[in-house]
């Protein structure tokens, strides 16, 4: 049965500009640089560079209102031409001061695993078809250096995709060529064969000989830390097995995860978005904007609008279209400059609230002094929405006297200790981490023992909660923490 009704509903919608501002707030410093470069390329009315102070010499016609009435197409022209109420510095944004040291992340040219293998392959003298098979296999390797696909499946791929009919033995011969290259263990199909390949290039004596037996014959027992079973089977003592296991621990289980640049591994630098320093016993917060350029609305585009002020009476369709284009570009440039300002303001007041909330931590660097803090606490403090605080904290880092930290790590839930006080879960995780680091590795504590230990310290936590915190800290179970 159809029925009609009349209702009144209040609905709030974000404008496209507000949505774009939210996206800008969420960006990290590096992502913001890319976004600014993109905007500079798309909008010619936005300029990159220091805006020189110019004396205002424009003398606008006092009869602007009468002239505007003659053509509705040019409404609001004086708002874009008059600079008396809006000085140039308000149309520009400088993301760093003259005192800031300009930092540019170094560009490092690296070679990945496939480049290294191709270079070595070029030094080999192989038949054309075998060389082509080797190149195909190199392209089939996964990023960690393993070849987990069965050779028979690769043979089928070659037949269907390239029309190349070969036998598995021929592909196996090409695979052996790759496996003989550096790094050792490349193109293995599992961890066991990868480690075994690396050991086989070591001296065939001493602890390496024992390590090879452990990996090839007792790998399952090794992964489960059943050391007594291995010693009994191989008739070795504890010291001998310990030396072999230490040798195995020096091997690389992911031979493909290498990048060569000047003989060293490449590093990914983290550019902090904020810097917190202790100056004269006070915390000082700075927003890192050193890599962001200064932005301003193009003077030449404002001069173009000035030109259209003189020709608008006799201007044709082309002149009106040009006017609307210039006006839209200046609109977008002014909005973008203002959005960058708003982004900086939002980031600063949000991080300032976090800094003041966790003041004890930023003075000491002790995780146990972190207060329980959720997004709502900061949102209430700065009178903003929770989603805004979340965007500010997302993928951003702060440089502190105790290292560079991810901002989201300062947020944590709370729980009540034995004395009835609320404490941060970060404090509990720190105590748990310290307890594991100080335990006897020959007899590591199970989760029940860890729960009892924290309960004795005044933190009544269930065993399943201990297991959850342990997994969040990437701490393995007691059996896998056992050493000789």
What gap in Å lies between CA 461 and CA 418, rounded to an integer? 10
Q: Please report the pLDDT score of residue 76 as a whole number.
A: 45
C-beta separation of 373 from 358 below 8 A: yes
What gap in Å lies between CA 51 and CA 295, rounded to an integer? 8
pLDDT digits (tens, 9 = 90+) for 300-320: 877 776 666 566 555 567 767
Q: Please report the pLDDT score of residue 277 as a whole number.
A: 92
Name which of 61-65, 129-133, 253-257, 428-432 the model is least confident about: 61-65
Q: Please report the pLDDT score of residue 421 as a whole number.
A: 65
Q: Please report the pLDDT score of residue 60 as a whole number.
A: 37
pLDDT of 371 above 60: yes
C-beta separation of 234 from 213 below 8 A: yes
Cis-peptide, bond into residue 183, ω within 30° of zero: yes
Report field, pTM of the whole predicted structure over 0.75: no
Q: Please name which of 386, 365, 364 lies closest in space to residue 376, comparing C-alpha atoms.
A: 386
pLDDT of 84 above 70: no
Collapsing DSSP to helix, strand or coil, 16 comes out as helix
Which residues, 6 or more positions from 96, have their beta carbon under 8 angstroms from its beta carbon? 102, 289, 290, 291, 292
Q: Please report the pLDDT score of residue 258 as a whole number.
A: 62
Q: Please name which of 73, 57, 77, 45 lies closest in space to residue 306, comparing C-alpha atoms.
A: 77
What gap in Å lies between CA 210 and CA 279, rounded to an integer? 58
Q: Are strands 92-93 and 295-297 parallel, antiparallel or unpaired?
A: antiparallel
What gap in Å lies between CA 357 and CA 414, rounded to an integer? 14
What gap in Å lies between CA 348 and CA 274, rounded to an integer? 9
Task: Locate 297 and state its tokens.
Answer: 């609305």
pLDDT of 266 above 50: no
Residue 349's pLDDT band (cuts 50, 70, 90): very high
Query: What are the two backbone dihedrals, phi and then psi, of residue 228, each rounded to the nearest 5 degrees?
Result: -65, -35
- If you average pLDDT over residues 218-226, what whole number do you get? 87
Which domains does the chain carry? 16-50+72-95+295-349 (no CATH), 113-260 (no CATH), 414-481 (1.10.10.60)
Tell how far CA 340 is from the center of its chain.
21
């Amino acid at each position: 049965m159809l029925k009609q009704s009349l209702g009144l509903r209040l609905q709030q919608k974000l404008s496209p500009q507000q949505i774009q501002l939210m996206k800008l707030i969420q960006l990290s410093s590096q992502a913001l640089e890319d976004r600014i470069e993109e905007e500079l390329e798309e909008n010619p009315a936005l300029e990159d560079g220091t805006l020189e102070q110019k004396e205002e010499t424009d003398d606008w016609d006092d009869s602007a209102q009468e002239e505007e009435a003659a053509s509705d197409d040019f409404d609001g022209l004086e708002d874009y031409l008059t600079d008396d109420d809006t000085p140039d510095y308000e149309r520009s944004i400088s993301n760093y001061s003259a005192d800031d040291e300009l930092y540019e992340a170094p560009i490092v040219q690296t070679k990945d695993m496939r480049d290294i293998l191709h270079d070595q392959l070029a030094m080999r003298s192989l038949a054309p078809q075998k060389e082509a098979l080797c190149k195909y296999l190199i392209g089939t390797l996964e990023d960690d250096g393993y070849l987990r696909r069965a050779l028979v499946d690769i043979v089928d791929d070659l037949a269907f995709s390239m029309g190349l009919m070969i036998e598995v033995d021929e592909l196996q011969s090409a695979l052996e060529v790759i496996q003989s290259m550096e790094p050792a263990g490349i193109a293995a199909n599992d961890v066991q064969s990868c480690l075994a390949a690396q050991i086989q290039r070591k001296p065939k004596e001493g602890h390496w000989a024992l390590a090879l037996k452990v990996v090839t014959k007792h790998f399952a027992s090794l992964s489960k830390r059943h050391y007594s079973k291995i010693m009994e089977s191989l008739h070795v003592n504890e010291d001998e097995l310990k030396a072999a296991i230490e040798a195995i621990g020096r091997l690389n289980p992911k031979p493909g995860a290498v990048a060569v640049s000047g003989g060293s591994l490449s590093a990914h630098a983290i550019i902090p978005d904020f810097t917190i320093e202790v100056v004269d016993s006070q915390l000082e917060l700075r927003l890192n904007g050193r890599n962001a350029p200064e932005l301003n609305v193009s003077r030449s585009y404002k001069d173009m609008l000035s030109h259209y002020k003189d020709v608008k009476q006799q201007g044709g369709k082309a002149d009106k279209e040009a006017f609307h284009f210039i006006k839209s570009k200046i609109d977008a440039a002014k909005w973008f400059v203002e959005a960058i300002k708003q982004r900086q303001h939002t980031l600063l007041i949000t991080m300032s609230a976090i800094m003041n909330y966790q003041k004890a931590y930023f003075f000491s660097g002790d995780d146990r002094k972190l207060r329980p803090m959720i997004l709502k606490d900061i949102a209430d403090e700065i009178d903003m929405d929770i989603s805004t605080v979340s965007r500010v904290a997302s993928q951003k880092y702060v440089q502190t006297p105790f290292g560079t930290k991810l901002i989201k790590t300062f947020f944590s839930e709370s729980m009540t200790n034995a004395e009835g006080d609320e404490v941060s879960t970060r404090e509990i995780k720190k105590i748990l981490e310290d307890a594991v680091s100080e335990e006897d590795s020959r007899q590591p504590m199970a989760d029940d023992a860890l729960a009892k230990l924290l309960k004795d310290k005044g933190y009544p936590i269930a065993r399943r909660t201990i297991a959850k915190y342990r997994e969040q800290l990437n701490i393995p179970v007691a059996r896998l923490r056992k050493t000789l």
